[in-house]
Chains A and B, each alone.
Chain A
Amino acid sequence: MTAPLTARDRLALQWVGMVERWNSLPRASRLLIVLLLALLFYALPLLRPPILTTQQTDFGGIMFSSAALALVAVGLNIVIGYAGLLDLGYIGFYLVGAYTTGVLTSEHWHWPFFLVLPVAIAVTMLSGVLLGAPTLRVRGDYLAIVTLGFGEIIRLIVTNVEWLGAARGIKDIPHPPTIGPDPKPPFGEGGLFTIPHLSWNGLIPSLDENRGTRFLVFGAADAIPYYWLILTVLILVLVADKLVKNSRVGRAWEATREDEDAAELMGVPTFRFKLLAFAMGAAVGGLSGALFASSQGGYINPLSFPLLLSILFVAAVIVGGAGNRWGAVLGGVLVAYLPERFREFADFRLLVFGLALMILPVYRPQGLLPPARTIRARVAEREIELLEGGEDTGPTDDGLDGPEGPDGFGRTNSTGKVG
């Protein structure tokens, strides 16, 4: 390749190369690397690495909410990214999951937490089917409006129905059970043993005498066990997502997203698959909601589920890269983490965050991490462009090919333009 590539092209090439090298590794070493990475992520809130660690807020708590939002984004990615259904009322499913947990564990019954979890998922799936059955006949913008209405209606229902706690909410939702003896303050911390945290002096780590996490006590005091729980759930959901995506179901979703009529004429029962996407997405939303209900000091009320949060969920998926599960994870983490990390900028942080959300779609409409095949296609298209010499905005030297200008990766493939 003699023609000049821009910095972004080279980056994408490197990425594609990395993905290919990764795919050519033997299965055993891939598994080992994944395990090590997972271990690193489990240990992250204990390691408290400098720069990454938030100073003004509890790092474990931020890690928890990042992983929680990543989980939500992975669920919503099924609906928006795979099936192409713009669901603006995803918060509704989140709420149903949380309230099912609240009602069954505290408000009216006292079921154990891990028994309620599958029930909450089932109830949310059902609500997804009930919402989807009449509404999935409408397409595009109309679906967005209908789902927006759903999110709001659900919130208004719980605000007004006394049986669901109305405006006062539901309290005393239990934590998941402790492993080891129960904590009995001030006499015992509970759990089996303490895992110490690290503290950093510059780049020199040392064990922190004052901070540790009891294995394994779920509670309001320490969010790290919750982080471990939700990370585990996230990993399981990601595996399931991969298995389903690489099957007839995933292909049917994507075909429906690309061209519903053509999909139907190729034998895809599109309505059934859209409903399935709604139900699967709802299930993950309900699961996150259930975990959320138990983690928030055991208290939820209708104010915990504003419509704005629903929009944030959508933003996470779009920012990360709709259609790629790792994009959704990245988007969820960034949307939860960045505003907390830059808390020292006080009110400006939300302004900057909002600006970032505006700039990103302009320069990178397919998200930070679009599906790998899209990147590969982009690179191929770019190479052809350069070979044809039909480049009019070509860089003259390396100093000019910065990230500016929408000519590089900022263009979607849907324009289908070559040269």
Chain B
Amino acid sequence: MAERILEVDDVTLRFGGLTALDSVSLHIEEGEILGLIGPNGAGKTTCFNVITGVYTPTMGEVRFRGSSLVGLKKHQITRKGIARTFQNIRLFRSMTALENVLVGADANHSSGVLTALFRSPKHRREEADGHERGMDLLEFMGLAGRADELASNLSYGDQRRLEIARAMATQPALLCLDEPAAGFNPQEKAELMALIRRVRDRGYTVLLIEHDMRLVMGVTDRIVVLEFGKKIAEGTPADIRDNPAVIAAYLGVDEDAS
């Protein structure tokens, strides 16, 4: 088996009396597409937030390539190689598409006021690198023609794609997509799935939250299922499809809450 790029080890997260995540363990292997599914409120996005440093777990460990992420700041985690998109689009609305991607690319840069004031070779190199990488990514997402438009003026689908481009610009090893197909029609969803496969082929490992079962089944290598903050199943799409606990969670059974 391939190397484990991320390990979530027995993570519990409590908000006061509410247990949002209850001893969740999962891992992601280098180069795979892992699906994270579950009904509404199962803790999928919370899990994302723990991985990317928005929440600090009450108990447990998150390790990225062997080193702990707990206690690191959000921007430090990004710089280590984990990038994400948001369930509700959170672009920098009054910046252009290209500028949005440049902000992502800047995660790998370090020029500051002085290098900018004197247009030092480092500043020029980083600007050129950012623009090249940014335009390349916009091209990849089919947004090259919209580079100079304000993010807020892009169509809904383009905004979703721009979020992915922005996250990819930080050059992550692990790309976390939080319901990237939300609000898409079947045609757009199919295109997005093809896109996610191409993203993986570029060498990214992908963690994908998705609601649409069919879509997840088609694109992921492995799936982890959460319900009420607990992991209830894990396995290949075929395993998950036949798993009674998963079917119960999604369709409801008599003695469970309906």
A contact set with B: CB distance below 8 Å: 240, 243-244, 246-249, 251-252, 254-255, 258-259, 261-270, 276, 280, 323, 371, 373-374, 377, 380-381, 413-414, 416, 418
Beyond contacts A267-B75, A268-B75: 14 other A-B pairs, Cβ-Cβ < 8 A, are A247-B123, A255-B95, A255-B103, A259-B92, A261-B90, A263-B92, A265-B83, A266-B104, A266-B166, A267-B107, A267-B108, A270-B75, A413-B153, A418-B153
A243 near B116 with CB under 8 A, answer yes
B78 near A255 with CB under 8 A, answer no
B152 near A254 with CB under 8 A, answer no
B contact set with A: CB distance below 8 Å: 52, 54, 73-75, 78-79, 83-84, 86, 90-96, 99, 102-104, 106-109, 111-113, 115-117, 119, 123, 126-127, 130, 148-150, 152-153, 166-167, 170
Contacts of A264 in B (CB 8 A): 73-75
* Residue in B78, B112, B119, B150 whose CB lies within 8 Å of A265: B78
B153 near A258 with CB under 8 A, answer no
Task: Report B147 CB to chain A, min CB distance, Å.
Answer: 12
User: Looking across the interface, which residue of chain B has its beta carbon closest to that of A268?
Assistant: B75
In the complex with contacts A255-B103, A267-B107, A413-B153, A249-B78 CB distance below 8 A? no
Contacts of B149 in A (CB 8 A): 377, 380
Contacts of A416 in B (CB 8 A): 93, 152
Contacts of B106 in A (CB 8 A): 248, 251-252, 267-268
Contacts of A255 in B (CB 8 A): 92, 95, 103
Q: Count contacts between A and B, CB distance < 8 Å.
A: 120
Question: How far apart sit A258 and B99, CA to CA, in the bound complex (Å)?
Answer: 12
* Residue in A240, A266, A280 whose CB lies within 8 Å of B78: A266
In the complex with contacts A266-B83, A377-B149, A243-B103 CB distance below 8 A? no
Question: How far apart sit A20 and B75, CA to CA, in the bound complex (Å)?
Answer: 37
Question: How far apart sit A268 and B111, CA to CA, in the bound complex (Å)?
Answer: 12
User: Looking across the interface, which residue of chain B has its beta carbon closest to that of A251?
Assistant: B103
In the complex with contacts A247-B123, A255-B95, A258-B95, A269-B75 CB distance below 8 A? yes
User: Looking across the interface, which residue of chain B has its beta carbon closest to that of A247?
Assistant: B116
Q: Can you list the 5 inter-chain pairs with the closest CB atoms, starting with the nearest?
A: A267-B107, A247-B116, A258-B92, A267-B78, A262-B90
Question: How far apart sit A268 and B110, CA to CA, in the bound complex (Å)?
Answer: 11
In the complex with contacts A243-B116, A244-B117, A259-B150 CB distance below 8 A? no
User: Looking across the interface, which residue of chain A has its beta carbon closest to that of B169?
Assistant: A266
* Residue in A240, A254, A267, A381 whose CB lies within 8 Å of B104: A267
B152 near A414 with CB under 8 A, answer yes
Contacts of B115 in A (CB 8 A): 247
B113 near A249 with CB under 8 A, answer yes
Question: How far apart sit A262 and B78, CA to CA, in the bound complex (Å)?
Answer: 11
Q: Which of A263, A264, A323, A414 has the most CB of B within 10 A?
A: A264
A381 near B153 with CB under 8 A, answer yes
Question: How far apart sit A373 and B73, CA to CA, in the bound complex (Å)?
Answer: 33
Question: How far apart sit A259 and B150, CA to CA, in the bound complex (Å)?
Answer: 15
In the complex with contacts A373-B96, A373-B148, A413-B93, A263-B103 CB distance below 8 A? yes
Question: How far apart sit A269 and B115, CA to CA, in the bound complex (Å)?
Answer: 18
Contacts of B153 in A (CB 8 A): 377, 380-381, 413, 418
Question: How far apart sit A269 and B170, CA to CA, in the bound complex (Å)?
Answer: 14
In the complex with contacts A259-B92, A416-B152, A247-B127 CB distance below 8 A? yes
Name 19 interchain pairs, CB-CB below 8 A, sorted by A: A240-B117, A247-B115, A247-B123, A248-B109, A248-B116, A252-B103, A254-B92, A254-B99, A259-B90, A261-B74, A265-B78, A266-B167, A267-B75, A267-B78, A268-B75, A373-B96, A413-B93, A414-B94, A416-B152
Task: Report A244 CB to chain B, min CB distance, Å.
Answer: 5
User: Looking across the interface, which residue of chain A has its beta carbon closest to that of B79?
Assistant: A267
User: Looking across the interface, which residue of chain A has its beta carbon closest to that of B127?
Assistant: A247
